[in-house]
Structure 1
Amino acid sequence: MNTQICHSKSNWKEGFGEKSEESFLQSWDWGEFQEKTGKKVLRLQVIDNSSVVYQIQVYIHELALGKYYAYIPRCIIVDAAIFAKITNFLANYGVVFVRIDPVSPFEVKTAYRTEVVKNRQPSDTILLDISEDEDKLLAQMHGKTRYNIRLAQKRGVQIKEEENSDIFWELHRQTSKRDGFCGHDKSYYEHMIASPCTRQLVAYKNNTPLASNIYILHNSVCTYLHGASGNAHRNDMAPHLLQWKGVELAKKHQCHEYDFWGVAPEPKHKNEEKALHSHVWNINHSLSGVTRFKAGFGGRRVTYGRSHDVILSSFWYNTYRLAKKIRGII
């Protein structure tokens, strides 16, 4: 077996096969989007007897002194020998460590030391099966969620599909200031919205943008990736109607599942517990507020494997960790 870089979109698609279940984070289109934002992307294929037996999309991040680390999101590790081919290729590329966000628990034996680290992608999500008709999907929601969808419609909120990064950026700016978080810069969202795998919905009232969501369509899954809402007309419940129209959009594109992306993990202790509808989560987690919103739509929880660093160079990895600690102190 040997490892090589794939340079062909059609070969990449063929490598996953017709019944592939890889995440959009492993798709060619998402890799292209990341390249436009300045990321280095390696699409690695393991070849055996002229056939692709495994492939993985790797995002290369630069460290100091000409060193790198590799990030592999939502990866499915199938075999220790194949994984060794990937890690050896990356070690020769100058990678200090490989950070893996696995789909399932990372249990592959490797010659390299590993450490459990914080997940970069959300560790938990809610997946909604949207194969049922719309009446049944509405009926299985929490009553308050269903009420808020109809309230938004009654109050004249209208949803339009468009490609407008200026509107999203302004709403995002208001959201981040209100909720106290930092997102990406404007060009990041511009490139994302322009990607062929992306769809954008905007909620309006009297021609005023109230909220906007960005969705990713891939492998029959529609992922609600980013949302933003303004400070005006917040009682008109535009985000609730946006989610519902997102489900309708997903069904229009023959998706079978709707992914709400990040939610708070399950509580470890009884006094941390918060519940709504069919969901229970840790009320002290930073995603508790958005989890309450998403839980009302139903669906089932999915928990991914814990992230690991696979350390290809102990010296440089320890240097990197020390530098991070010093920067944190300063």
Structure 2
Amino acid sequence: MDSTSLSVLTHTQLDPAAWDAFVASHAHGHVLQTQRWGDLKARVGWQAERVALTLGGAMVAGAQILYRRTPWGQPFAYVPKGPVMDWEQPALGAALFKAIEQCARRRHSYLLKVEPDLPDSQVMARRLADYGFAASAQTVQPRSTVHLDLTAGLDEILARMKQKWRYNIRLAGRKGVTVRAGTRADLPAFQRLMQTTGARDHFGVHSQAYYAAAFDLFTPPGLASWLLAENHGELLAGIVVFTLGRTAWYLWGASGDSQRNLMPNHALQWAAIEWAKARGCTVYDLWGIPDEVGAGQISAEDEADGATDAGAQGGLWGVWRFKQGFGGQVVRYVGAWDKVLSRPGLWLYRLAAEIKRRAVPLPGGA
């Protein structure tokens, strides 16, 4: 592709609906690159900007850039699960990364971080290095995950699962667990479940306003579903599944402390698989497992069967043991890549991070 024939569309020139349609139709499109996701992150302090390349009036590549301002004023620029482009066209990539960098520099960003939705490979790593990026140890999105192939029929998808997982799905049904699509009125109850899960499993939870914004942005157009598992009117667990194009992503999940023996989480995942398949999805991304599994540092089979000591560390290992039974394929992404745009800004960031790491809270302080 001749890069001289490309035109650049900036944020103010891009129609949000046209942008989202482009992302949804592209082979490398991702829900985190949609305008709707940018609107959601704007609720929690980020700013979103989009830039695209056109050829003959049609969009051929682009990126949504999220900015987060630091205490000293310089923002951090981040492209989650992007850019959206044909990675087999180096000239196209060079033109797009030039446009992205210009956007970031106009906002005086100290760092540009990209986290492409690409499988880990030496070829892609070299390509990102050719664009001026260096591999980063600080990822934002999970680097390793599990993909379920939804191209087969439901019976075959069920047959690929481990026997115990098939049993648990059927057990939930026999024990009276039902799954339904949640409404906006269910969000306070879902929030309580999230807080219970966060306290139990030691992870951060978004505010109720954040989940409400996600519901309003993604549920009406059919791009997300809040699935709730109940037993005789009692809410046991819930998950949130997003979809775009041919892919569905399980991003959030929560469960209570009672009646976990009824296997509501297995029932929810099966309902999510059915929901995604009914919408034409061919891939269901279970979103996040220990990267040691994806990197091959620990045998997936051994860890799933509890044959190593790693599971004793908690964290994502319990999540992995649950997800691996659904019969998917472990996928590892190329990870996060950084380009320094301001050395003084990077130095200030590292100084602030070190101060935060060494900070000792005062007695009784929050």
Of 221, 234, 251 in structure 1, the residue corresponding to residue 247 of structure 2 is 221
Q: Give the deviation of 1:17 after TM superposition.
A: 7.6
| Structure 1 pair 3–329 and aligned structure 2 pair: CA distance change class (3 A) | farther
- The aligned counterpart of 1:247 is 273
How far apart are the structure 1 equivalents of 2:235 and 2:144?
30
Of 309, 313, 335 in structure 2, the residue corresponding to residue 306 of structure 1 is 335
CA-to-aligned-CA distance 1:254-276 (integer Å, 9 cap, x gap) = 21111101112224257995135
- The aligned counterpart of 2:67 is 60
- The aligned counterpart of 1:211 is 237
How far apart are the structure 1 equivalents of 2:23 and 2:299?
42
Q: Is 1:153 aligned to residue 173 of structure 2?
A: yes
Q: Give the deviation of 1:198 after TM superposition.
A: 1.7
Q: Is 1:193 aligned to residue 193 of structure 2?
A: no
SS of corresponding position for 2:179: strand
- The aligned counterpart of 1:80 is 94
Higher mean C-alpha displacement, 166-175 vs 261-270: 261-270
How far apart are the structure 1 equivalents of 2:74 and 2:248?
36
| 2:225 partner letter | R
| Structure 1 pair 322–301 and aligned structure 2 pair: CA distance change class (3 A) | same
Higher mean C-alpha displacement, 317-326 vs 199-208: 317-326
Of 35, 38, 43 in structure 2, the residue corresponding to residue 36 of structure 1 is 43
More strand by share: 1
SS of corresponding position for 2:304: strand
Write the mapping of 1:209-288 to structure 2, written as runs, cut at 5 A: 209-265=235-291, 266=293, 267-268=296-297, 273-275=302-304, 283=311, 286-288=315-317
Q: Is 1:141 aligned to residue 161 of structure 2?
A: yes
- The aligned counterpart of 1:179 is 201
| Structure 1 pair 43–241 and aligned structure 2 pair: CA distance change class (3 A) | same
| 1:150 partner letter | R
CA-to-aligned-CA distance 1:178-211 (integer Å, 9 cap, x gap) = 2222222221112112222221110011100000
Q: Is the 8 A contact 2:25 2:245 kept in 1?
A: no
How far apart are the structure 1 equivalents of 2:281 and 2:55?
33
SS of corresponding position for 1:43: strand
| Structure 1 pair 297–269 and aligned structure 2 pair: CA distance change class (3 A) | closer
Alignment gaps of 5+ in structure 1: none
Q: Give the deviation of 1:303 after TM superposition.
A: 0.7
- The aligned counterpart of 2:319 is 290
CA-to-aligned-CA distance 1:116-161 (integer Å, 9 cap, x gap) = 2221100011111112121111111100001111111111111111
Alignment gaps of 5+ in structure 2: 1-6, 88-92, 119-123, 360-366
- The aligned counterpart of 1:4 is 10
Q: Is the 8 A contact 1:4 1:47 kept in 2?
A: no
- The aligned counterpart of 2:104 is 90
Residue identity (%): 28
Number of residue equivalences: 328
Q: Give the deviation of 1:306 after TM superposition.
A: 2.2
Higher mean C-alpha displacement, 39-48 vs 288-297: 39-48
How far apart are the structure 2 equivalents of 1:259 and 1:111?
28
Higher mean C-alpha displacement, 283-292 vs 104-113: 104-113
Q: Give the deviation of 1:109 after TM superposition.
A: 4.4
Q: Is the 8 A contact 1:161 1:201 kept in 2?
A: yes
RMSD: 2.6
How far apart are the structure 1 equivalents of 2:179 and 2:94?
48
Of 101, 122, 130 in structure 1, the residue corresponding to residue 150 of structure 2 is 130
| Structure 1 pair 144–115 and aligned structure 2 pair: CA distance change class (3 A) | closer
How far apart are the structure 1 equivalents of 2:169 and 2:155?
13
Write the mapping of 1:8-23 to structure 2, written as runs, cut at 5 A: 8-13=15-20, 15-16=22-23, 18-23=25-30
How far apart are the structure 2 equivalents of 1:110 and 1:300?
30
How far apart are the structure 1 equivalents of 2:240 and 2:319?
16
How far apart are the structure 2 equivalents of 1:41 and 1:2?
17
More helix by share: 2
TM-score by length of 1: 0.90
Q: Is the 8 A contact 1:80 1:109 kept in 2?
A: no
SS of corresponding position for 2:236: strand
| 1:212 partner letter | G
